[in-house]
Chains A and B, each alone.
Chain A
């Protein structure tokens, strides 16, 4: 009960815990995987545009999975990110774009065009 009250003030504590755990997994990777994973993590903070906490947590968890596996298998960095790391990061992030701020704008644009179309028919 108290936890619930605190969470209304601070946001989900469970999510914060999860975030810290995933961040620790990324920070704990051996080099050069830690550098690559941290760079992607940073990029997601700018690019992601995902406002939904749960989705963001899933994404960061998967990011840690990806690089932990790569580190264990000794997969070369380039075999993960390809020639264009930006494209790779954006493709990766796009898988999670179920609930993005842009979705609201997309819905708005769609509606505006429909309204305009109705005007046209009058």
Chain B
């Protein structure tokens, strides 16, 4: 009884963060990370359940109680080694996974109290290791002599590569950009996921012997047929969704109207926030409208503030309850001063005589019955047109399936929206020895779901490489 009372007294350890007013004007990471003392304290809140629900909630099945127990004992290298058994990108996952819906959402402590901060602890273990280099890295398994090509170096591709190299296969990752990491480096901003952390996790794979071929656009630089001809035994396609979706409304081609992909790629990957020290420019708006309500929209709106916007608006056609972004991202955006214009739907953009965007016309919306996705569908209020003056617009309403690779590959079954059809339980596509996963199968989703798909495919690929199709 006494012990129970004691454990209830430990509150969930708060993640220290940069002050909103300060961080809204810099690109440094927002959460600063737990101290070792706080991490040990937080780890002490874990009940070490015999049947841990948190593990069921983790798409890659990290042994959560085991790594938390090691943190509690102060064995930080042991903790990261435990995580590495199932997850090759812990520093990334600790930062960008929707833990509240996954591990932490299932945490028993969370039934009566705040759940154990599993994500923050995972991040702590990974960051501690990066700073101290004490843990023994997993090493490449005994060579099987099989060659695997992984197309795309985003979260799903990196997971497949990490798993298969551990199993002893010869892995080459192909990346179209000049830097590895996919959406982790072009899409997710520096203040949420520093690039250096992604590169460090890729370096970990490199140290285990995975090759990374940059600047290689599979479908143009080399085709799937050519990869097979070069002796690859199995191929994983994790190319992401990668097709910007526009609204199809008048004025969308005015200069100053960006897709979220372009705006974030310029700012993050190409470091436009350090222009002119870095050569890539981006338009710095005073009044910036971001259209959309997902995590990408939050990233764009928060980036606009950091690039000097006086007003950064989120324009979303449903209400706050339907925002698809993580609650924590919405909260961070609000704290920093992003202005939410909810139940608002753009109808056209205005431009000046130089073809630059100067404003947006929108309609007020109200919520009707739930649609096919279960969300209440927005209905326009007649005659409610109004104008928002703006000099920069970012369209962040989702992504479609990029056809570059799928069009150049024969015999690959696609669904009617152009995504690759892959078996959910194995990741197998309609083509022998070709697997797929992540956004090119599911449409835009989360980092951890892409990693989960990578894990599933890697297991199936290993079976194929050792047992046959």
A binds B: no
Interface residues of B (CB under 8 A from A): none
Interface positions of A (Cβ within 8 A of B): none
